[in-house]
Amino acid sequence: MPSDENFGENAARVFVALLFAAYNLLPLYGLWAWHWDAFQLLILYWSETVILAAWTMVRLMFVPAAMLGNIEINKQTQAATHANLIGLMSMVAGIFCAAHLFFLCTLFSGDWFRRLHGIGDFLRTFYVDSGAWFALGLVAIAGGIDSLIGEYRPQFVDRLARRCHITLPAPISHPGDPVANILSVLFNRIIVMQVAVICGAWFVRHWGSAGPLTIIVAIKTVWDFGHRTRLIKADVIQV
């Protein structure tokens, strides 16, 4: 049983896990009730990647300057600052997301782009009319809470927690490089989950059934929820 001391922290973690679970279950409704195809689901998960990458940059902003380590710019090693580290990582994440989107559009778009007329039509079709905006809103909220209650967080969060009688974990030292820890969680998650979803999309293209995508979405939901609820017993909050 959790103690009263860490009840607020655990409740926040469970709330974030439930938000991600709700987000992950919405695509199941989209697949069966709204008849989403593989490309619509892939665009949703690509958009999730963009949102989580953005929140990762926010988490880097909260890491104390003395713990940022070194960075190499123009073949010169220098102490990293929030500006140059976040700038570099944003460029890397941006290139990755752009290449990933190009890959998805090239292999899985089918005749979608013959039916769409411009960026506005794309945004309206894939985010507004499909209902994906609501699912991605849940991801944005959950990612924001994750970032704000993490080990490195702005002082106003601690003040607000004290007013609400919520105990958040005190800052502690990670073993190893805190920047590498934050980035590795993001990129490892992206690689594992995107490979799984893309494999599901391949099965759909070859066998014409939504069954493989349903299985992949269900596995992703269980993995996300299990991963986050396990943090209730952990000493460190992760993304």
Digit-coded pLDDT (tens) for 18-55: 787 778 777 777 777 777 777 888 888 889 889 989 99
Residue bearing tokens 């599901």: 200
Return the closest-CA partner of residue 82 out of 58, 100, 54, 48. 58
Report the distance separating Cα 142 and Cα 24, nearest Å: 12
Q: Cβ–Cβ contacts within 10 Å for residue 36, how many?
A: 23
Q: What residue type is assigned to position 115 of the chain?
A: R
Average pLDDT over residues 69-78: 80
Q: What is the mean pLDDT of residues 96-124?
A: 85
Tell me which amino acid residue 101 is: L
* Tens-place pLDDT, residues 116-173: 888 899 999 999 988 889 889 988 998 888 888 777 888 788 788 778 776 665 554 4
Residue 197 has pLDDT above 70, yes or no: no
Which pTM does this prediction carry? Answer: 0.77
Rounded to 5 degrees, φ, ψ at 71 are: -140, 145
The DSSP H or E segment spanning 77 is strand 76-79
Q: Residue written as tokens 């938000």?
A: 19
Average pLDDT, the chain: 77
The pLDDT of residue 2 is 46
pLDDT grade for 4, boundaries at 50, 70 and 90: very low
Q: How far apart are CA 185 and CA 180, in angstroms?
A: 9
- Interhelix angle 7-32/132-148, rounded to 10 degrees, is 160
